A and B are shown apart, each in its own frame.
Chain A
Amino acid sequence: MVRQLRLEEVTSALEASLSVSDLELIAQGGQKYVFGCNLEGAPAVAKVVLLPLGPDSVYVLERAQREVEVLAAIDSPRVVRVLSEVVELDFAEGIRAATWVEDRLDGQDMRDDLEKPWNYDRAARLIVQLGEALSAFHDLEVVHRDLSPANVRELSDGSFVLMDPGLARHLAKSALTGVFQPGTAVHRSPEHIPGGDVQPVSDIFALGILAYRALTGVLPIDPSGSEDDYYRRLRDYDSRPIEASCSDIPAPLRDVINRCLKRQPARRYLDGLELIEELEKHGEIFGPYFMDA
């Protein structure tokens, strides 16, 4: 059995390897720690992922490296900024971890704010700004693959930032399909069904789910029953139109959400860039929320 790491062991290793200070534990779950810290006088977070023993450690380390590589390549205020490379930490008794530093974002992630339906302006802001974030990913031919409430943060200035592309995939550097499909349950696209091919258009579907859920408090595809049942609904049925729950929704917002949620991928916006092109046509609804507005 692997022994439990003491917090002080982790913080001293971080201080030594990443030159961070003032470490405080913000979150801990599974094999991951998130620390608030100070990097060269600026607030930051240090993320630590414990590597499992055995061959899976290679996969976990690669995933951490991919997350950092993706973030380092993206220069967008809509995507969290990475401030270091991945560093491997070696603890006593063979325990290993991967760590890196990101910008510390204020505000809260969407998980804490889905109880009450959002107003239309806020949902429009979400779509524009995550659309801009996805454009930055897709422009590099990278798919986020896990656009879910935990990975979207609303800052205190009202802007949205996309985080945690730990499951992101570079289209040109990876195999076409696989049995394992990543993503957060109920926030997956039809292409996430095992055997499918997750593409930029799949991130668009996930954005549609987020917007739909924010406005209605429910999911566009009924998640009840077994995973197989859910997959069948995801694959075979169109989502309920947003206007069925929001009768007074402005037409451009309605049309954008419904198109994001089209079951057939070719009927959606193919990627963030195409989505943004569409949003730009409807300045009266989406115009105020663009980066250059």
Chain B
Amino acid sequence: MAVLIQDGRRSGHLKWTREAIQRRCADGAVISAFCTPRIPRPRQRDAGAVVEALGTAEVLFDPMTHARLLSGTNKLEDYDTWSLWGNSGVGLDTTARRLEHVERVFSRQSELGLPRLAPTLALASARSSDADHAVETARVARGLDRHCYQSLVGTVEFFASGTDLDAHVGRLAGLRASTWVLTLVPASSPNLIADLATSTVALTGWLRTIHSLSVRSRVIVQNADFLGLLASAAGADTVGSGWDRSMKVFDASSYQLATPAPRRPASYVTQRGLVAILRRSIADDIQRLDAARAQELRGGPMPSDDAHQRVHHLRVIRDLVSDIYRMRGQEESVSVLRAIYHNALDNYAWLDSQVPGLVSASERDAWVNYPLLTLEQYAKAEGIW
């Protein structure tokens, strides 16, 4: 069971990552080709230095091919330092391109002394030429290194595609990868995390996939954060998280240059007992209402600043994932998470009785009701509800 910190571009990223690992709030990190350069750039540590700085912690280098091949991706200043494509061009649609790319990705990972993680495409459909290219890429990777980790990246449409999804996962399972690294790509939205939480059909398919792959393999879910609790109940042993939105959820816009002017991130506080991250002003209101109960809801003292909130958040995620995953059977894991959600609903009800409307119904739905519904749909289909 582990939490990996996703890569980010903020200047303190490496320092914060090291601190989180040292404080045992996280177990390792993912280096992204889009966030960390291969060679040093002004004010940026190169990947070799990052690996060295993180010592014995688990580190993966994700080539992020699925992000590179999304239409609109053009934020390439770090990515291009990796030289991941050969003479036949960018793409995974031909045998030559697949081979050249996988060889280069594996070579970079070997240079860093990291596990070999195969690249893939972000799939919007399980029945498509892209899906075939993803399978072929995975087979090339397996052919070069049968012990490599494999990637599966899909949109909400992909994970909502029912039997087509299951058939595709069957093709992938045949590769017998030791580790699967999954990424769920949400639909474009100004409110990615909340909208993703309401995509119950896709999330149920995502859980079914995790369940299927975890029968034979270790499963890591990237950019999952609180939704990683669901993944843990379905069999994922490692969850990707972090402090920025683009770490907590896959955000296609973070790979594009045309982003709005930088804005100061709002201040939030993670509330363990509500399975939520709420605005600091709400945390203050709860604190004023009942200091003891507030501490219980947060799962710790009030974070005094954003630095403490980063640590507090990761600790909450790690503790919850640990509580869920350490159960020996999936039925027990589901039962633990179900209890966590029901307890959260009780807490929301208490809050609402004290200060009606302090937390909106839509926030409660996104943090608890929809995830609980997803858990129920998944578990009922598996006969473990």
Question: A-side interface residues toward B, CB under 8 Å?
Answer: 176-177, 190-191, 195-197, 199-201, 235-236, 263-267, 270-271
Assuming the contacts A176-B132, A267-B212, A270-B176, asked whether A201 and B163 have C-beta atoms less than 8 A apart, the reply is no
B 197-212 contacts with A by CB, 8 A: 208, 212
B contact face: mostly helix, strand, loop, or mixed: helix
Instruction: Scan residues 126-161 of chain B and give those whose CB is less than 8 A from a CB of chain A.
Output: 127, 132, 135-136
- Determine which of B127, B132, B135, B212 lies in contact with A264 in the assembled complex, contact meaning CB atoms within 8 Å: B212
5 contacts between A and B (CB under 8 A): A190-B167, A266-B166, A266-B172, A266-B213, A270-B174
Tell me if B266 counts as interface (CB < 8 A to partner A). no
Name the A residues within 8 Å of B135 (CB-CB): 176
- Check A266 against B176 for contact (C-beta < 8 Å): no
Q: How many residues of B contact A (CB 8 A)?
A: 19
Tell me whether B171 is interfacial, beta carbon within 8 Å. Answer: yes
Residues of A within 8 A of B136 (CB): 176
B79 to nearest A CB, angstroms? Answer: 29
Chain A residues whose CB sits within 8 angstroms of the CB of B163 once the complex forms: 190, 235-236, 263
Residues from chain A with Cβ under 8 Å of B216 in the complex: 270
A199 touches B212 (CB 8 A): no
B194 within 8 A of A: no
Asked if A265 meets B166 with Cβ closer than 8 Å, knowing A176-B135, A176-B136, A195-B127, the reply is yes
Q: How far is the CB of A254 from chain B (nearest CB, A)?
A: 15
Contact of A266 with B169 at beta-carbon distance under 8 Å, contacts A199-B174, A200-B174 already known: yes
Please name the residue on chain A nearest to B133 by beta carbon. A176
Report the Cα distance A117→B95, complex, angstroms: 50
Q: Given A235-B163, A267-B215, do A199 and B132 touch, yes or no (CB 8 Å)?
A: no
Q: In the assembled complex, how far is the CB of residue B216 from the closest CB belonging to chain A, in whole angstroms?
A: 8
Q: Which residues of B contact A196 (CB under 8 A)?
A: 167
Return A202 CB to nearest CB of chain B, in Å: 9
Q: Is B187 on the interface with A (CB-CB < 8 A)?
A: no
> Nearest residue in A to B382 (C-beta to C-beta)?
A267
Could you tell me if B176 and A264 are in contact, using CB atoms closer than 8 angstroms? no
Q: Cβ of A177: which chain B residues have Cβ within 8 Å of it? A: 132
B40 CB within 8 Å of chain A: no
B212 partner, pick from A191, A195, A266, beta carbons under 8 A: A266
Contact B167 A197 (CB under 8 A): yes
Contacts of A235 in B (CB 8 A): 163
Cα separation A200 to B171 with both chains bound (whole Å)? 10
The CA-CA distance from A235 to B170 in the complex, in Å, is 13
> Please, how many angstroms separate the alpha-carbon atoms of A265 and B172 in the complex?
10
- Residue interface bits B167-187, CB-to-A below 8 A is 1, else 0: 101111110100000000000
Hey, which chain A residues are within 8 Å of B172, CB to CB?
A: 266
Cα separation A196 to B167 with both chains bound (whole Å): 8
Q: Once bound together, how far apart are the Cα atoms of A273 and B126, in whole Å?
A: 27
CB distance from B379 to the nearest CB of A (A): 15
CB of A223, distance to nearest CB on chain B (Å): 19
Residues of A within 8 A of B176 (CB): 270
What 0/1 readout, one digit per residue, does chain B (98-132) give for beta carbons within 8 Å of chain A? 00000000000000000000000000000100001
Assess whether B170 is in contact with A199, with CB atoms less than 8 Å apart: yes
Chain A residues in 8 Å Cβ range of B171: 197, 199, 265
**Contact at A191–B174, with CB atoms within 8 Å?**
no
Inter-chain CA distance A265–B208, complex, in Å, is 12
A-side contacts of B132, CB under 8 Å: 176-177
A191 to B208, CA, bound (A): 18
- Judge whether B167 and A201 touch: CB under 8 Å: no
Asked whether, in the complex, the Cβ of B169 is within 8 Å of the Cβ of A264, the reply is yes
The residues of B that contact A190 with a CB separation of less than 8 Å are 163, 167
Complex Cα distance, B166 from A182, in Å, reads 21
New A-B contacts (9) at CB < 8 Å, excluding given A201-B174, A270-B174 = A176-B132, A177-B132, A191-B170, A195-B127, A200-B174, A264-B212, A265-B173, A266-B172, A267-B212
Q: How far is the CA of A265 from the CA of B212 in the complex (A)?
A: 9
List B contacts of A270 (CB < 8 A).
173-174, 176, 216
Bound CA–CA A275/B215 (angstroms) = 14
CA distance A182 to B135 in the complex (A): 22
In the complex, which residues of chain B have a beta carbon less than 8 angstroms from the beta carbon of A176? 132, 135-136
Contact A264 B170 (CB under 8 A): yes
Kindly report which residue of chain B lies nearest to residue A199, judged by CB atoms.
B174
Q: Are A265 and B127 in contact (CB under 8 A)?
A: no
B173, A191: Cβ atoms closer than 8 Å: no
